[in-house]
Structure 1
Amino acid sequence: MSTSRRDLFRLGAFAAAATVLPAFAAAPAPAVPRAARPLRILILGGTGFTGPFQVAYALARGHRVTLFNRGSRPSPEWPGEVEQLHGDRNTGDLAALEGREWDVCIDNPTTLPFWVRDAGRVLAGRVGHYLFISTISVYADGSRPGIDEDAPLAQYRGADAMAETQESLRADVGNLYGPLKARSEAEARHQFGERVTIVRPGYIVGPRDETDRFTYWPKRIAEGGEVLVPGDGRDPVQMIDGRDLGEWMIRLAEAGTTGTFNAVGPDYRLSTDAMVHGIHAVTGGPVRFTHVPAAFLAEQGVRFGADLPVWFPQEHEFGGYGQVSNARALAAGLSFRPFATTVADLLAWYRGLPSERQAELRAGMPREREAELLRAWHARAG
């Protein structure tokens, strides 16, 4: 399949960026300017994927940071003083937050409405601004291109959303995840009123991504050989670097920005072809991309979004997830580092993991399965 003129322009930009990446990586990071006014920021979570990026950026901007979590994960070496409070939202243990006040609360890990309810009972009236990380999975219709923030939300069909637990969510995640996030958003507004910001990311990628969903593609392309590319290469894909998301959350807090925003990127239409060729511009090496139609993959039992992560064909029930509108977020200052930078930094981080962790890729298909599908497709196509 021929690559579009627009994609060729983007691929050229990726290749150019890749040529300067080693020098870029070796150079000191640009200084982060101090915020006009220091804030007292409470981060619920803070040691997972995006939280450490929020912490580092907030400290660089001159803010005071407090973390509240179970303390089950080791904290990174913070580039400044961070207050650590412990508790457990599963059991309602929020005693460490009682009687305290903050300018801002950022809620990172919540998937259950009762977590927001309990936080509101302790913090309402004691934080000036509440920012909640939700998901584009809250939308009722994931097939519609151009989903914006006003689209209908998934409805909870159970008996009592407040009675749902992590165990019940894990048992029926496909049916509960989006609706419970939507109910959590509603509870945030109920508890904290107008001073609420809802941020709905899609795929979050880059260093610290333990899901390996996007990582599958740079790792596979870096290995070289014949790579299966799903569809005709024109299907759109969207993602956001966890650093771009985390840093933007701090800027939203500084500006006191409220409302609801789709946090997806990039700020142009990224096709599947542009994604894989853009990755190859960073990884280099001999590689051959073979397009395999979505209909054939479906016949072979391939799970879209799992065996071939990040991607859905446009006609799929989740085909709209690659075409979500980010216009409102862009107007509110969301920005993106170059795609090539995300790929290079992700690979550097991943290759620094223990070898046994690298051997257990958590998303995508094994090489043997990919080779089997390619053989079957070549036999069919003649």
Structure 2
Amino acid sequence: MRTTRRDLFKLGALAAASAALPSIAASTATTPVARAAKPLKILILGGTGFTGPFQVQYALARGHEVTLFNRGRRPSPEWPGEVEQLHGDRNSGDLKALEGRQWDVCIDNPTSLPFWVRDAGAVLKDSVGHYLFISTISVYADGSKPGITEDAPLAAYKGRDAMAETRGTLMADVGNLYGPLKALSEAEAHRQFGKRVTIVRPGYIVGPRDETDRFTYWPHRIAQGGEVLVPGDGADPVQVIDGRDLGEWMIRLAENGTTGTFNACGPDYALSTDAMVHGCHAVTGGPATFTHVPADFLEKHEAGLPIWVSRRDAIYGGYGAVSNTRAIEAGLSFRPLATTVADLLAWFRSLPAERQAKLGAGPSREQEAALLKAWHAQAG
């Protein structure tokens, strides 16, 4: 149904807070970062993708020495300090550049295949003191119920040989292999590095540098104005984490020598779909209205709305309400949603016009209009 005056009163807290939201210019300002008590030698596997650059920037600001290992196929950002670059290819097992070196910490960002962890362990298990692995909440066997904790059962691998899986087989069967192979990669990390392991399981990672456009769809679409399709009744839970919050927290975990397994989902309060879209609107401004469309209608029409998962979903209904208590107790903190939205839009609007015109997620304006028209016709 269309958002009514009564609905807007329910969201009064958001409206009252909107006046205090930072502007885009203010939100992108940098805050001085204190130096760490003890500088570390940090090896980052990857480092030029989404969260890696945030890890590098924060580590340098904290006074750490950073080495990157990757294939060298992506242009490296301009770092605010000296960064050592080592090249190799984990697909072919070429890790020679890592041999004979010592680091305090290794952060493994891009791994989805167990043999990558096995091979890294063969070279690094006696050369690093602490291994941090970015996993995913997709490792859980049952994502249907809210409140998933780190101790919940993990997805089982049903293939013939996990160590023979490649990026090709993973991409060809991502729906069935991604979670189980990540779970086996976690197990391999413990096998190689013992108790010196930290497993971090994020959900949706969002913010500047996010090339998936999954969250970007919402502030970008709302900024365009007009009638915006909002999935469900607005009460479905949403969890997102700014890539900067994730990257910076991982450096602090390394500094503190924190081991264990953590769900890195945000924020630290219950965020609903309505709160998300109205929070975006508080930043973007402009004439936008919101029309709620039931989940069963959207599923029937294969709407493909990103980030949103119905709490009634029999498979993934709990993925918007994963427990993050353990991570918060370990120091995970979150910048305001308004800051993430403002900085994300500023970054997105800096991209070439042709890139902005082709989002990688969400329906087109024409598809959304057709869905709204069909819903209004059915609802009468």
Which TM class, normalised by the smaller chain length? over 0.9
**Corresponding residue number in structure 2 for 1:12:** 16
Aligned-residue CA RMSD in angstroms?
1.3
Q: Distance in 2 between matches of 1:29 and 1:220?
A: 27
Change (3 A) 1:184 1:169: same
Other structure's SS at 1:72 match: coil
Q: What displacement does 1:96 show?
A: 0.1
Per the TM alignment, residue 229 of structure 1 is displaced from its structure 2 partner at its CA by 0.2
Report the residue type matching 2:282 in the other structure: A
Mapped partners of 1:216, 1:22: distance in 2: 18
Q: Distance in 1 between matches of 2:216 and 2:166?
A: 30
Report the Cα distance in structure 2 between the residues aligned to 1:11 and 1:147, rounded to whole angstroms. 31
What is the aligned counterpart of 2:26 among 19, 24, 27? 24
- SS of 1:197's partner is strand
1:308 aligns with 2:301: no
Q: What does residue range 47-66 of structure 1 map to in structure 2 within 5 Å?
A: 47-66=48-67
Amino acid at match of 1:187: E
Distance in 1, Cα, partners of 2:240 & 2:218:
13
190 and 10 in structure 1: CA distance in 2 versus 1, 3 angstrom threshold: farther
Q: Choose from 365, 373, 376 the match for 2:374.
A: 376
Amino acid corresponding to residue 338 of structure 2 in structure 1: A
Distance apart, 1:296 and its partner CA:
1.2
Distance in 1, matches of 2:364 and 2:110, equals 30
Match of 1:333 among 308, 316, 331: 331
The whole-number CA distance in structure 2 between the counterparts of 1:239 and 1:282 is 17
Task: Map Cα deviations across residues 182-237 of structure 1 (whole Å, 9 max, x no partner).
Answer: 00000000000001000000000000000000000011000000000000000000
Paired letter, 1:315: R
CA distance in 1, matches of 2:51, 2:78: 15
Q: Distance in 1 between matches of 2:184 and 2:15?
A: 41
Shift of 1:22: 4.4
SS in 2 for 1:321: coil
Report matched runs for 1:162-241 at 5 Å.
162-241=163-242
The answer to whether the 8 Å contact 1:32/1:60 transfers is: yes
AA partner of residue 301 (structure 1): E
- Paired AA for residue 251 in structure 1: R
Residues 46 and 110, structure 2, Cα contact 8 Å, conserved in 1: yes
The change in CA–CA distance for 1:221 and 1:80 in structure 2 (over 3 A counts) is same
Counterpart Cα distance in 2 of 1:330 and 1:220: 31
Change (3 A) 1:230 1:147: same
**Distance in 2 separating the partners of 1:23 and 1:209:** 19
How far 1:297 sits from its partner (Å)? 1.2
CA distance in 1 between counterparts of 2:110 and 2:25 reads 36
Q: 1:44-83 to 2 correspondence within 5 Å?
A: 44-83=45-84
Contact 1:94 1:119 in 2 (8 A): yes
Amino acid at match of 1:326: N
Shift in Å at residue 338 of structure 1? Answer: 0.7
The one-letter amino acid of 2:123's match is V
> What letter matches 1:351 in structure 2?
R
Aligned to 1:251: 252
SS of residue paired to 1:32: coil
Q: 1:22 to 1:145 in 2, by over 3 A?
A: closer
Q: How high is the sequence identity, in percent, across the aligned residues?
A: 75
Corresponding residue of 1:137 = 138
Instruction: Specify the alignment match of 1:323 in structure 2.
Output: 321
Residues 179 and 371 (structure 1), Cα distance of their counterparts in 2 relative to 1, 3 Å cut: same
Partner Cα separation in structure 2 for residue 23 and residue 315 of structure 1:
39
Which whole-Å deviations, capped at 9, do the CAs of 1:114-173 have from their partners, x for residues lacking one?
000000000001100000000000000111110010001000000000000000001100
Tell me the number of residue pairs that the alignment of Structure 1 and Structure 2 aligns. 375
SS of residue paired to 2:268: strand
Offset of residue 380 of structure 1: 1.0
SS, match of residue 101 in structure 2: coil
Deviation at residue 315 of structure 1 after TM alignment: 1.1
Cα deviation code 1:286-326 (max 9, x no counterpart): 00100000011122233xxxx20000110111111100000
